[in-house]
């Protein structure tokens, strides 16, 4: 019986010839990612009696959650992280403003195909876009990996998702993954690895793949992997210095399930409050007035997302009373978007441009909703209270195009 991608990647990361689903192995990551939670992790690390990290070359930290810090506590949190980075000689540290961890990690060449990326953040699945396994773990476990260089993993079963057809104009990767989550359910891929395949996948950009891998966390996926191809190679070429050897699933690999979708007729989708799998075609919604439109985050804050949104709002003004918040995913994205005039168009339409960061997505900092407010968002979670306030607030998730069109209209729409 052949092997799936996750079986091959975990076999490599555990130094074993081969592994099979269900087996428990000890694996060592190519990179281990964390963010503002690194101070808490370093505290656990010290409490464990650890003195030095196992390999300062493999630890990646980007400050992105509370950026720039809004109060003394959050500022101190960042200071503790910088001190730890210095004391341990951690090589890959990106301070406030460089960008969101899941964007910065690939941009700076820290993911290679076939590698295992562990991360103390639930959206670590994002790195599956690069034919790698991005697996999320918790803080204590991250501290343990910092100390020991490895952790135990159960090799998951794999669900293969084959995407066929060609998306209509105005329908995007975000609509695809929202639709899939609606079909598969919030726990439909729990404990599983997902492998994407099919003609639609072949035509997708790296950014689109990142959106899909990122949101696969919302159907419970342990990893969500795209196959390596010319698109991956080209994107990585200017960023990754060292040679790498991609891994491929075997033709006769065993899949627990194979799901096939033809998405040529797909319409813009919306995940309605308060669950990400509460997905409806936008046209089925009644008129939902909005107060805030959020564009950005690790799901949809990349150059193509800002381009799409800026073209929609170009020469127009957002509806009176609506706030359009724009959070580019990284400095690199922001710089390009400035150069290409996207930011200017957004600002002229009335957008508030923020520093590259996670911003209001998790309600920890910035862009918090007031009681009774509704938000259309390009982010990844619409849980009750997610954006900092639970009293009658509602969050709707959609593509950057829908966010931009809705900001203009004042209600949820994809019409431009």
Partner 1 sequence: MKIEGRVWIFRDDDINTDLIYPGKYTYEPLPGEEQAKHAMEDYDPEFSKKVNKNDIIVTGKNFGCGSSREQAVTCLKNAGVEAIVARSFARLFYRNAINSALTVIECPEAVEFIFKKTDKQGSMLSELKMEIDLKEGKIRIGSEEFSFPKWDEQAMLIFEAGGLAEYTRRLIKEKTKA
Residues in contact with partner 1 by CB under 8 A are 24, 36-37, 39-40, 43-44, 47-50, 65-66, 73-74, 77, 119-122, 124, 136-141, 143-144, 147-148, 152, 154, 186-187, 190-191, 220, 222, 275, 277, 362-365, 381, 383-386, 388, 390
Pick 101 or 131: Cβ nearer partner 1: 101
Our CB check for partner 1 shows the closer of 64 and 208 to be 64
Least distance between partner 1 and beta carbon 186 (Å): 5
Whole-angstrom Cα distance, residue 124 to residue 149? 18
Nearer to partner 1, 48 or 319 (CB): 48
CB of 118 to partner 1, least distance (A): 11
With b for 16 or more beta-carbon neighbours within 10 A and e for fewer, the 223-233 pattern comes to bbbbbbeebbe
361/157 Cα distance (integer angstroms): 30
Taking the complex as a whole, the smallest distance from the CB of residue 215 to partner 1 amounts, in Å, to: 13
The SS3 assignment for 383 reads: coil
For partner 1, the closer of residues 319 and 362 by Cβ is 362
**Distance between CA 270 and CA 283 in Å, rounded?**
9
Select 328 or 363, whichever has its Cβ closest to partner 1: 363
Q: How far is the CB of 282 from partner 1 (least distance, A)?
A: 23
Distance CA 97, CA 103 (A): 12
Map residue 352 onto helix, strand or coil.
strand
Task: Tell the smallest beta-carbon distance from residue 38 to partner 1 (Å).
Answer: 11
**Alpha-carbon gap, residue 256 to 193, rounded angstroms:** 10
Q: Report the residue number, 154 or 166, with the smaller CB distance to partner 1.
A: 154
Residues 6+ apart with CB under 8 A from 108: 92, 94, 239
Rounded CA separation 122/281 (Å): 26
As to burial, measured by CB atoms within 10 angstroms (0-12 exposed, 13-18 middle, 19+ buried), residue 281 is middle
State which residue, 368 or 416, has the beta carbon closest to partner 1. 368
**Nearest CB to partner 1, comparing residues 340 and 368:** 368
Min dist CB 273 to partner 1, Å, is 12
* Nearer to partner 1 among residue 21 and residue 236 (C-beta): 21
Q: What pairs with residue 281 in β-bridges? A: 269
Sign of CA dihedral 381, 387, 393, 399: negative
d(CA 367, CA 369): 6
In whole angstroms, the minimum distance from the beta carbon of 81 to partner 1 comes to: 11
Cα gap 10→382, rounded to integer Å: 32
Dist CA 175 CA 167 (whole Å):
10
**SS3 of 238, please?**
coil
CA distance 49 to 58: 20
Query: Running DSSP on this structure, what letter comes out for residue 214?
Result: H
User: In this structure, are residues 220 and 143 in contact, taking their beta carbons and an 8 Å threshold?
Assistant: no
Q: Output the smallest distance, CB 72 to partner 1, in A.
A: 10
In the complex, the smallest distance separating the C-beta of residue 141 from partner 1, rounded to whole angstroms, is: 6
- Considering beta carbons, is residue 314 or 389 the nearer one to partner 1? 389
Least distance (Å) between residue 188 CB and partner 1 = 9
Count CB-CB contacts under 10 A for residue 323. Answer: 17
């Amino acid at each position: 019986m052949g092997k799936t991608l996750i079986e091959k990647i975990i076999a490599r990361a555990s130094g074993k010839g081969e592994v099979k689903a269900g087996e428990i192995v000890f694996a060592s990551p190519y990179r281990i990612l964390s963010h503002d939670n690194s101070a808490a992790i370093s505290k656990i690390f010290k409490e464990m009696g650890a003195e030095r990290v196992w390999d300062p070359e493999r630890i990646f930290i980007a400050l992105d959650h509370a950026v720039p810090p809004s109060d003394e506590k959050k500022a101190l949190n960042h200071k503790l992280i910088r001190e730890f980075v210095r004391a341990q000689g951690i090589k890959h540290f990106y301070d406030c403003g460089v960008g969101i961890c899941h964007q910065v990690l690939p941009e700076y060449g820290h993911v290679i195909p076939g590698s295992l990326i562990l991360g103390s953040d639930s959206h670590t699945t994002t790195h599956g876009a690069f034919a790698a396994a991005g697996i999320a773990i918790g803080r204590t476990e991250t501290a343990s990996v910092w100390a020991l260089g490895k952790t135990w993993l159960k090799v998951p079963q794999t669900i293969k998702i084959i995407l066929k057809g060609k998306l209509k104009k105005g329908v995007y990767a975000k609509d695809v993954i929202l639709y899939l989550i609606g079909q598969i359910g919030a726990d439909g891929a729990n404990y599983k690895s997902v492998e994407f395949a099919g003609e639609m996948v072949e035509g997708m950009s790296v950014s689109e793949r990142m959106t899909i891998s990122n949101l696969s966390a919302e159907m419970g996926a342990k990893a969500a992997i795209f196959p390596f191809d010319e698109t991956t190679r080209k994107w990585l070429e200017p960023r990754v210095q060292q040679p790498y050897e991609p891994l491929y699933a075997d033709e006769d690999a065993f899949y627990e399930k194979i799901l096939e979708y033809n998405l040529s007729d797909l319409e813009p989708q919306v995940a309605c409050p308060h669950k990400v799998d509460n997905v409806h075609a936008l046209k089925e919604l009644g008129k939902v007035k909005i107060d805030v439109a959020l564009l950005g985050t690790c799901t949809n804050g990349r150059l193509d997302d800002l381009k799409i949104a800026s073209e929609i709002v170009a020469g127009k003004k957002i509806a009176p009373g609506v706030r359009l918040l724009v959070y580019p995913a990284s400095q690199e994205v922001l710089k390009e978007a400035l150069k290409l005039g996207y930011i200017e168009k957004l600002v002229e339409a009335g957008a508030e441009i923020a520093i590259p960061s996670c911003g209001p997505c998790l309600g920890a900092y910035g862009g918090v909703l007031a009681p009774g407010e509704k938000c259309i968002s390009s982010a990844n979670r619409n849980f009750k209270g997610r954006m900092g306030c639970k009293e009658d607030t509602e969050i709707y998730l959609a593509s950057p195009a829908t966010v931009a069109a809705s900001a203009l209209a004042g209600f949820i729409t994809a019409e431009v």
